[in-house]
Amino acid sequence: MELRLAVAGIGNNIAALIQGKYFYQAFEKTRREGEALPGIKREIIGGVRPYDFNVCACFDVHPGKIGTDVSQAIFCPPNCYPDLRVNVPHQGVSVVEGLTLAGGELQGMEQVIRELRRTRPDVLLYSLPTGLQWAADGYSLCCLEAGVSFVNCTPEIVARNPERMAAFQRKKLALLGDDLASHIGASVVHSALLELILKRGLDLVRSYQINIGGNSDFENLFVNGKSKAASKKNAIAHLTGKALDQVEIIPSGGFVSQLKDEKVAMISIEGRGWAGTPFTIDLKLKVQDSSNAAGVIIDLIRFAAASMRDGIDPYAEADSLLKSPPKVAQFAHTQSHSGPNSNGSKPSVCTAPTGQ
Amino acid sequence: MELRLAVAGIGNNIAALIQGKYFYQAFEKTRREGEALPGIKREIIGGVRPYDFNVCACFDVHPGKIGTDVSQAIFCPPNCYPDLRVNVPHQGVSVVEGLTLAGGELQGMEQVIRELRRTRPDVLLYSLPTGLQWAADGYSLCCLEAGVSFVNCTPEIVARNPERMAAFQRKKLALLGDDLASHIGASVVHSALLELILKRGLDLVRSYQINIGGNSDFENLFVNGKSKAASKKNAIAHLTGKALDQVEIIPSGGFVSQLKDEKVAMISIEGRGWAGTPFTIDLKLKVQDSSNAAGVIIDLIRFAAASMRDGIDPYAEADSLLKSPPKVAQFAHTQSHSGPNSNGSKPSVCTAPTGQ
Amino acid sequence: MELRLAVAGIGNNIAALIQGKYFYQAFEKTRREGEALPGIKREIIGGVRPYDFNVCACFDVHPGKIGTDVSQAIFCPPNCYPDLRVNVPHQGVSVVEGLTLAGGELQGMEQVIRELRRTRPDVLLYSLPTGLQWAADGYSLCCLEAGVSFVNCTPEIVARNPERMAAFQRKKLALLGDDLASHIGASVVHSALLELILKRGLDLVRSYQINIGGNSDFENLFVNGKSKAASKKNAIAHLTGKALDQVEIIPSGGFVSQLKDEKVAMISIEGRGWAGTPFTIDLKLKVQDSSNAAGVIIDLIRFAAASMRDGIDPYAEADSLLKSPPKVAQFAHTQSHSGPNSNGSKPSVCTAPTGQ
Amino acid sequence: MELRLAVAGIGNNIAALIQGKYFYQAFEKTRREGEALPGIKREIIGGVRPYDFNVCACFDVHPGKIGTDVSQAIFCPPNCYPDLRVNVPHQGVSVVEGLTLAGGELQGMEQVIRELRRTRPDVLLYSLPTGLQWAADGYSLCCLEAGVSFVNCTPEIVARNPERMAAFQRKKLALLGDDLASHIGASVVHSALLELILKRGLDLVRSYQINIGGNSDFENLFVNGKSKAASKKNAIAHLTGKALDQVEIIPSGGFVSQLKDEKVAMISIEGRGWAGTPFTIDLKLKVQDSSNAAGVIIDLIRFAAASMRDGIDPYAEADSLLKSPPKVAQFAHTQSHSGPNSNGSKPSVCTAPTGQ
């Protein structure tokens, strides 16, 4: 089955997503019996494989991207995701100018709605730089108008806005967000170690986590990282089940341009065991930042599409892929009036792949 | 309640255990309301606090230790556990010559049994260097004869010997082992990270773990580490639920004398995520090796004593503290005929401490 | 011989310096024949040992410090240098209110000059927070007026100001600065590795250095680190003899309060060797930030005092202890007209210690 | 100018060397004005560029290698140097059976000498596994007989044997060795840091270095590393100018097969600065082990060839590339009677490359 995808923000995440499609298509050709797709947890969701999506609409405001085919736009600076040397064919989809803010006024809604109606995507992926609440609001309203589900990759408040959520549910559209949990990021690694220490009865004395990178996210976060630090502390509290005052987090310890889209996280843990004797853990994690996002996005867009087709709860499995999901209780409540399958026996959207 | 403890092998583990007793006694004097004992998960087991034990009998074969009070013997080289600067008073318990092997003949059984009968310990802690199966056999037989429960800190086969286990159970004595899981060791840390990677659907490409230290364990293991490597791989397979061919383990990468009783583990993990892009984790763990043992021993001897007094299953909670426990099913079976409380509603031996 | 010291800015550097004095005095009492003083390169400079200084005047503007004896003021927050558990006796020297800026107007010059004339120090150590050029100017003018030599710990421009330098030289006073090279800091370690790579003919591909800490310096630098980054890049260019475009430096990757006065530097180097095959170096340096300063300050104040007494060139040996010294040529020129010993055969100020 | 090379031992070093030749040849085709050859310090030695050598004779005893063209033999397991994806053409040179030891008797001398006479190499590179003194002796005697210079990559004693050295000099042949200093290895990195610490007057408390790898060297060294540890300690003493009792070295902390020809060195340094406050350095070096050798071999064979042609002292510049060179004094003495250019004004063999 094919998933039609619209994208707002043609940044590194999209460079990773589209190159990944062709990477996996090529992989299939030499795939051995029983071999798993590398980096893929759920091979099929709602009948859709990781490479069964087509980008049908693209929005951005960068002059170098507007009007070019998306297969070229993904390599336009400041994008810095590596060229994976897979053959990305001409997509036949040009980047269209997206929403802008001029004099406090949102502009371009009509054009975006028209483009969505023309191209009829199943899902719009919202992946603009962090901090543009007006854009997240604008694109989600366009989707409501055009009948398109919405996945929010950013910490902007969309799915946590109860009115917005209710509006999407009334139209039987999925609204998934907010913010992504990385596929393998500093928060989950840090939490796994802290959880282990608490579980085994050792004392946590102090711990810190510092992240650096060379994409524009890290440039933004270096000056404006307080809310991100709070969000990351919440993520750890959520994962370990305990607010840990001893933990300090620096979301961006520096913009190191040479790292490009690579991210480096350094984690330090100091504790005490028997008789107060000390132990320390020092860890360095290196990861391709936007691969970390794309590995989660591929599931979210498939959950969103499956939810629209089959009426099931998209949060049932997607919850662990999100940093700030809306309260499930609230969702369940409204959902119970709107979906044909919301009777408690939720149908599974994941099909066990033959090859795993 | 007081626990009477016999010890075979007055090495670093015992130096940690006895100094810890006085560390925690001193800590209690200035303990604040609600403050936890550092490094202690279970404050009370069967009515016994971590400092409620008295060493009543000591066995060793080192000439420098025999005949000296145990408060001095614990600082006799090659012991190299740090002096914690707590005041360890004269214990009034001299180290007695333990079992020896001369001409293939086990010697000293009678003396050990006599000493055990004279001093009437609840539990004997077997903590000799790794590799002396004859000694583990000998001391466990002495305990059977004298009516003393047995805790085996080493990988020697005692609790996994079904006949030996049955003999202890017939006499309503506890037999706990074999081998300790460290309080916070390389195996549990490595496993926590590998488990996380598998759970999140990333590919594990290759991983290794190397341990170094400066106590005599590391000198032994450097030349004779194959069985230990296998045991550590089993531990990881057990903890992650999967045999991982990509993982290599070096139990002792070197005897570095300057580290003394400190242990350093280096863990490297390489994997792949979305579109096959790589990620790496590099970790260094530093820990006081014998504190790592003592933090687990303190629970095992209390579980053993509680089991004798109350007839409960000592493995119910101790299982996670052991690397190679006997099959629980087997234990449960024989236990069901021997203990007054073995009716399925096992009484809990852990009392929630007031101070936590 | 005794060195009389005035101090402007009673921060962590002074906490390290004064505690160090009593640490070394105590060390002398149990010093063995031939044993070196730990962390001291030059045991005697101009007849003065590292503990032969007395603080005779103190200036600060912190309300909690003014009026208290300097032995207490050094422990007043936000100072966070550790208490070394040496006995620092009452010094009989209260902190006096220092220079302030009110309405663009420098205030307190007369009081500072009066205090300097009253207490007659050999040297004033300028150690205020980075960025207060007006204060560096003010205190140096006070010193000129009162006839006191001046050592500048900060990147403010004092010794590099040719007129100021000339004025000090006319009065036969030493002026040493600007900025300190750490005793063992990220710049010298990073440079040593880069130099090695260049010397052995390997290719440097990219490298970065990130520093974190928990004292107020790191809080300041996190928001205002551009000039410090440039200064650190210059230091590396100076040390390796080559401007290295591949190197990026983050002076403060984050204020991590739990680190207090501890500093952590992370250095990453990637290069290529034979046939372009890669190599990498990852390094972590942990150091007590203000000890790093005090270990250099102790030599600078002794060089300054020796220069006044003996008329020798204080830069002859102090150059490697400074990040931004004035041009030596210029100094030598003016010096040649002013000092009795400036005849080319500079007397050495360092005496080989008996105990090394 | 072309250098004709014979090789004894077709292991990873030769796989690196030969692939490197074609890597640099390809690199030249797209080389930009002023661009350096990556990983090459001396572009021209005695008129020879790094790719100006031809392998004309090959000796080995591995059944899988004998009789095959050297372009294939370099990829025969247990060789594990990576395939660099450069095009290595058929060399037209088959591997010939080398010297063997049967019943304490050296066999194959005549065949080796005959092959050397037939192929007329300038230099034979001795690169067998460590520990075969009989083979090093045998091949060097064959070279004497056939009039071929000799470069010894191993710690076996050849150049340090004064009689052997004299015999080579009488025949005006070069004899260069013994053992290679890695291009960028643990010893030089460790020494650079230790030297820095001593130079800046800090105290070294303790330090260790551990090396791991997955080629057969590491398998050998793990069981037989004592002499290598001593040699590495000597190297550090030599480089830092001081015997450092605080330093411990583990040449092989483990054979980790997954690392293949990659080598990982972990270095830890603990010291004390001002007032005895501690500092620590933790470093991890990853490098391609045989590239590390090849980057030095390429200079040694060129120095040897240049020495034969021009009669100059091959040790003049090669000294820093060797771990255990013979005493230079001794060499200079004998040389003064044998070479036409040994008049004190040694001609330089290095020509400044135009492109650097």
- Mean pLDDT, range D142-151, rounded to an integer: 98
Query: What pLDDT was estimated at residue B254?
Result: 80
Query: What pLDDT was estimated at residue B223?
Result: 65
CA–CA distance, B349 with B125 (Å, rounded to integer): 20
Tell me which residue in D246, D250, D257 faces B254 most closely, judged by beta carbons: D250
CA–CA distance, B331 with D353 (Å, rounded to integer): 78
Looking at the structure, tell me whether residues D176 and D200 fall in a common domain.
no
SS3 B338: coil
Query: What pLDDT was estimated at residue B352?
Result: 40
Question: Which of D27, D69, D70, D71 lies closest to D50 in space, CA to CA?
Answer: D27
Query: What pLDDT was estimated at residue A223?
Result: 65
Give contacts of A282 with chain C, Cβ < 8 Å. 284
Give contacts of B288 with chain A, Cβ < 8 Å. 273-274, 277-279
Instruction: Go through chain A and tell me how many residues it has.
Output: 356
Query: What pLDDT was estimated at residue C319?
Result: 83
Count the neighbouring beta carbons within 10 Å of the beta carbon of residue A328.
13
Looking at the structure, tell me whether residues B150 and B27 fall in a common domain.
yes
Which chains pack against B, by 3+ Cβ pairs within 8 A?
A, D
Query: What pLDDT was estimated at residue A329?
Result: 33
| Substitution target from C12, C41, C274, C288 for chain D, most D beta carbons within 10 A | C274
Query: What pLDDT was estimated at residue B225?
Result: 66
Tell me which residue in C246, C253, C282 faces A212 most closely, judged by beta carbons: C253
Count the neighbouring beta carbons within 10 Å of the beta carbon of residue A120.
13
Give contacts of C246 with chain A, Cβ < 8 Å. 258
Looking at the structure, tell me whether residues A315 and A254 fall in a common domain.
no
Looking at the structure, tell me whether residues C85 and C150 fall in a common domain.
yes
CA–CA distance, C198 with C192 (Å, rounded to integer): 10
Shortest alpha-carbon distance between residue A291 and chain B (Å): 5
Using DSSP bridges, classify how beta strands D105-107 and D100-102 pair: parallel, antiparallel or unpaired. Answer: antiparallel
Instruction: Find the residue in D nearest to B251 (Cα).
Output: D254
Looking at the structure, tell me whether residues B237 and B334 fall in a common domain.
no
* Chain mean pLDDT for chain D: 88
Terminus-to-terminus CA distance in chain D, angstroms? 20
Q: Is D30 exposed, middle or buried (0-12, 13-18, 19+ CB in 10 A)?
A: exposed
CA–CA distance, B42 with A242 (Å, rounded to integer): 19
Count the neighbouring beta carbons within 10 Å of the beta carbon of residue A207.
24
Residues of chain C contacting A, Cβ within 8 Å: 206, 208, 210, 212, 246, 248, 250, 253-254, 256-259, 264, 266, 268, 282, 284
Tell me which residue in D188, D193, D286 faces C280 most closely, judged by beta carbons: D286
The secondary element (H helix, E strand) that includes residue B169 is helix B162-170
Instruction: Find the residue in C nearest to D195 (Cα).
Output: C192
Which chains pack against C, by 3+ Cβ pairs within 8 A?
A, D
Instruction: Establish whether the linkage from the previous residue to D299 is cis, with ω within 30° of 0.
Output: no
Structure tokens at C221: 């630098």
- Higher-confidence residue of C246 and B235: namely C246
CA–CA distance, C196 with C240 (Å, rounded to integer): 9
Tell me which residue in A206, A212, A264 faces C258 most closely, judged by beta carbons: A206
Give contacts of B218 with chain D, Cβ < 8 Å. none
Contact D258 B212 (CB under 8 A): no
* Residues linked to residue D350 through DSSP beta bridges, in sequence order: D45
Which of D288, D311, D337 is a domain's end point? D288
Domain that holds residue D272: 186-288
Terminus-to-terminus CA distance in chain C, angstroms? 20
Give contacts of C251 with chain A, Cβ < 8 Å. none
Return the percentage of chain C with pLDDT > 90, whole number.
Answer: 69
Query: What pLDDT was estimated at residue C328?
Result: 41
Whether residue D128 is contained in a domain is answered as yes
Query: What pLDDT was estimated at residue C334?
Result: 34
Whether residue B356 is contained in a domain is answered as no
A122 backbone dihedrals φ, ψ, rounded to 5°: -75, -40
Largest CA distance in chain C: 70
Contact D23 C273 (CB under 8 A): no
- Over its C-alpha atoms, chain C yields an Rg (Å, rounded) of 21
| pTM, to two decimals | 0.88
Contact C258 A212 (CB under 8 A): no
What is the DSSP secondary structure assignment for residue A76, as one 8-state letter? S
The DSSP line for A208-266 is EEEEEESSHHHHHHHHS-HHHHHHHHHHHHHHHTS--TTEEEEEEEEE-GGGTTEEEEE
Instruction: Find the residue in D nearest to B258 (Cα).
Output: D206
| Substitution target from D248, D252, D257, D285 for chain B, most B beta carbons within 10 A | D248
Looking at the structure, tell me whether residues A13 and A92 fall in a common domain.
yes
Looking at the structure, tell me whether residues B14 and B156 fall in a common domain.
yes
Shortest alpha-carbon distance between residue B315 and chain D (Å): 36
Residues 6+ apart with CB under 8 A from A37: A24, A27, A31, A43, A50, A355
Confidence category of residue C218, pLDDT binned at 50, 70, 90 = confident
Instruction: Establish whether the linkage from the previous residue to C178 is cis, with ω within 30° of 0.
Output: yes
Give contacts of C273 with chain D, Cβ < 8 Å. 38-39, 183-184, 287-288, 291-292, 295
Give the count of alpha carbons within 13 A of B172, CB side only. 12
Contact B208 D253 (CB under 8 A): no
pLDDT score of B328 more than 50: no
Query: What pLDDT was estimated at residue B221?
Result: 73
Q: Do residues B201 and A40 lie in contact, with contact meaning Cβ atoms separated by under 8 Å?
A: yes
- Mean pLDDT, range D141-153, rounded to an integer: 97
Shortest alpha-carbon distance between residue C310 and chain D (Å): 25
Contact A275 B23 (CB under 8 A): yes
Residues 6+ apart with CB under 8 A from C203: C271, C272, C273, C276, D36, D38, D39
Give contacts of D284 with chain B, Cβ < 8 Å. 282
Looking at the structure, tell me whether residues B302 and B153 fall in a common domain.
yes
Give contacts of A254 with chain C, Cβ < 8 Å. 208, 210, 250, 253
| Substitution target from D224, D256, D281 for chain B, most B beta carbons within 10 A | D256
The secondary element (H helix, E strand) that includes residue D139 is helix D133-146
- For C268-289, the pLDDT digits (tens) are 999 999 999 999 999 999 999 9
Instruction: Go through chain B and tell me how many residues it has.
Output: 356
Highest mean pLDDT among B27-41, C106-120, D337-351: C106-120
- Mean pLDDT, range D29-52, rounded to an integer: 93
Looking at the structure, tell me whether residues B69 and B203 fall in a common domain.
no
Give contacts of C254 with chain A, Cβ < 8 Å. 208, 210, 250, 253
Angle subtended at Cα C303 by Cα C302 and Cα C306, rounded to the nearest 5 degrees: 85
Angle subtended at Cα B155 by Cα B154 and Cα B156, rounded to the nearest 5 degrees: 90
Query: What pLDDT was estimated at residue D348?
Result: 47
* Residues linked to residue D280 through DSSP beta bridges, in sequence order: C286, D270
Whether residue D65 is contained in a domain is answered as yes
Contact B210 D210 (CB under 8 A): yes
Contact B210 D206 (CB under 8 A): no
CA–CA distance, A265 with A253 (Å, rounded to integer): 9
Whether residue D23 is contained in a domain is answered as yes
Count the neighbouring beta carbons within 10 Å of the beta carbon of residue D131.
16
Q: Which of A26-40, C303-317, D103-117, D259-273 has the lowest mean pLDDT?
A: C303-317
Give contacts of C250 with chain A, Cβ < 8 Å. 212, 253-254, 256
- Mean pLDDT, range C109-124, rounded to an integer: 98
Tell me which residue in C196, C197, C284 faces D282 most closely, judged by beta carbons: C284
Structure tokens at C161: 């100001």
pLDDT score of D172 more than 70: yes
Confidence category of residue B331, pLDDT binned at 50, 70, 90 = very low
Instruction: Please report, to the nearest 10 degrees, the dihedral formed by the alpha carbons of residues A299, A302, A303, A306 taken in order.
Output: -160
Looking at the structure, tell me whether residues A146 and A98 fall in a common domain.
yes
Using DSSP bridges, classify how beta strands B262-272 and C203-213 pair: parallel, antiparallel or unpaired. Answer: unpaired
| Substitution target from D212, D244, D255 for chain B, most B beta carbons within 10 A | D212
A188 backbone dihedrals φ, ψ, rounded to 5°: -70, -35
Which of B258, B288, B318 is a domain's end point? B288
The residue with tokens 């799915």 is A159
Count the neighbouring beta carbons within 10 Å of the beta carbon of residue D20.
27
Angle subtended at Cα D144 by Cα D139 and Cα D145, rounded to the nearest 5 degrees: 95
Confidence category of residue C345, pLDDT binned at 50, 70, 90 = very low
Shortest alpha-carbon distance between residue D332 and chain C (Å): 25
Tell me which residue in A42, A200, A284 faces B188 most closely, judged by beta carbons: A200
Contact B24 A193 (CB under 8 A): no
The alpha carbon of residue D21 and the mean position of all alpha carbons in its chain are separated, in whole angstroms, by: 16
Which long-range contacts (C-beta less than 8 Å, at least 24 apart) are formed by C230-238?
C231/C155, C231/C179, C231/C323, C231/C324, C232/C186, C232/C187, C234/C324, C235/C181, C235/C187, C235/C191, C235/C323, C236/C187, C236/C190, C236/C191, C236/C194
Confidence category of residue B314, pLDDT binned at 50, 70, 90 = confident
Q: Which of A79-88, C175-184, D153-162, D315-324 has the lowest mean pLDDT?
A: D315-324
The domain that holds C52 is classified in CATH as: 3.40.50.720
- Higher-confidence residue of A177 and C6: namely C6
Residues 6+ apart with CB under 8 A from C353: C43, C44
Whether residue B341 is contained in a domain is answered as yes
Whether residue A356 is contained in a domain is answered as no
- For B46-105, the pLDDT digits (tens) are 999 999 999 999 999 999 999 999 999 999 999 999 999 999 999 999 999 999 999 989
Tell me which residue in B27, B188, B280 faces A286 most closely, judged by beta carbons: B280
SS3 D187: helix
Tell me which residue in C208, C246, C253 faces A210 most closely, judged by beta carbons: C253
CA–CA distance, A256 with A274 (Å, rounded to integer): 41
Whether residue C21 is contained in a domain is answered as yes
Query: What pLDDT was estimated at residue A227?
Result: 67
Confidence category of residue B349, pLDDT binned at 50, 70, 90 = low
Return the percentage of chain D with pLDDT > 70, whole number.
Answer: 90
CA–CA distance, C54 with B226 (Å, rounded to integer): 62
Considering its fold, how many domains does chain A have in total?
2
Q: Is B266 exposed, middle or buried (0-12, 13-18, 19+ CB in 10 A)?
A: buried
Tell me which residue in D20, D86, D279 faces C286 most closely, judged by beta carbons: D279
Instruction: Find the residue in C nearest to A283 (Cα).
Output: C284
The secondary element (H helix, E strand) that includes residue A281 is strand A278-288
- For D249-308, the pLDDT digits (tens) are 988 888 899 999 999 999 999 999 999 999 999 999 999 999 999 999 999 999 999 988
Tens digit of each residue's pLDDT, chain A (356 residues):
899 999 999 999 999 999 999 999 999 999 999 888 999 999 999 999 999 999 999 999 999 999 999 999 999 999 999 999 999 999 999 999 999 999 989 999 999 999 999 999 999 999 999 889 999 999 999 999 999 999 999 989 999 999 999 999 999 999 998 888 889 999 999 999 999 999 999 999 999 999 999 988 887 776 666 667 777 777 787 777 777 888 999 888 888 999 999 999 999 999 999 999 999 999 999 999 999 999 999 999 999 999 888 877 888 888 888 888 886 433 333 333 333 333 334 444 554 444 33
Contact A257 C264 (CB under 8 A): no
Looking at the structure, tell me whether residues B149 and B22 fall in a common domain.
yes
pLDDT score of C150 more than 50: yes
* Residues linked to residue D164 through DSSP beta bridges, in sequence order: none
Q: Do residues D98 and D68 lie in contact, with contact meaning Cβ atoms separated by under 8 Å?
A: no
Give the A:B interface size as CB pairs under 8 Å.
175
What is the DSSP secondary structure assignment for residue D209, as one 8-state letter? E
Whether residue C198 is contained in a domain is answered as yes
Strand locations in D214-293 (E):
247-255, 262-272, 278-288
| Substitution target from B44, B86, B274, B301 for chain A, most A beta carbons within 10 A | B274
Which chains pack against A, by 3+ Cβ pairs within 8 A?
B, C
- For B160-212, the pLDDT digits (tens) are 999 999 999 999 999 998 888 889 999 999 999 999 999 999 999 999 999 99
Say what angle helices C133-146 and C109-119 make with each other, to 10 degrees.
Answer: 40
Which of A288, A304, A324 is a domain's end point? A288
The DSSP line for A130-186 is TT-HHHHHHHHHHHHHHT-EEEE-SSSSSTT-HHHHHHHHHTT--EE-SSBPPTT-H
CA–CA distance, D193 with C192 (Å, rounded to integer): 7
Instruction: Establish whether the linkage from the previous residue to B78 is cis, with ω within 30° of 0.
Output: yes
The domain that holds D217 is classified in CATH as: 3.30.360.10
Which chains pack against D, by 3+ Cβ pairs within 8 A?
B, C
Q: Do residues C4 and C54 lie in contact, with contact meaning Cβ atoms separated by under 8 Å?
A: yes
Contact B39 A274 (CB under 8 A): yes
- Mean pLDDT, range C62-91, rounded to an integer: 96
Looking at the structure, tell me whether residues C174 and C151 fall in a common domain.
yes
Contact C253 A208 (CB under 8 A): no
Helices (H), B215-284: 216-223, 226-240
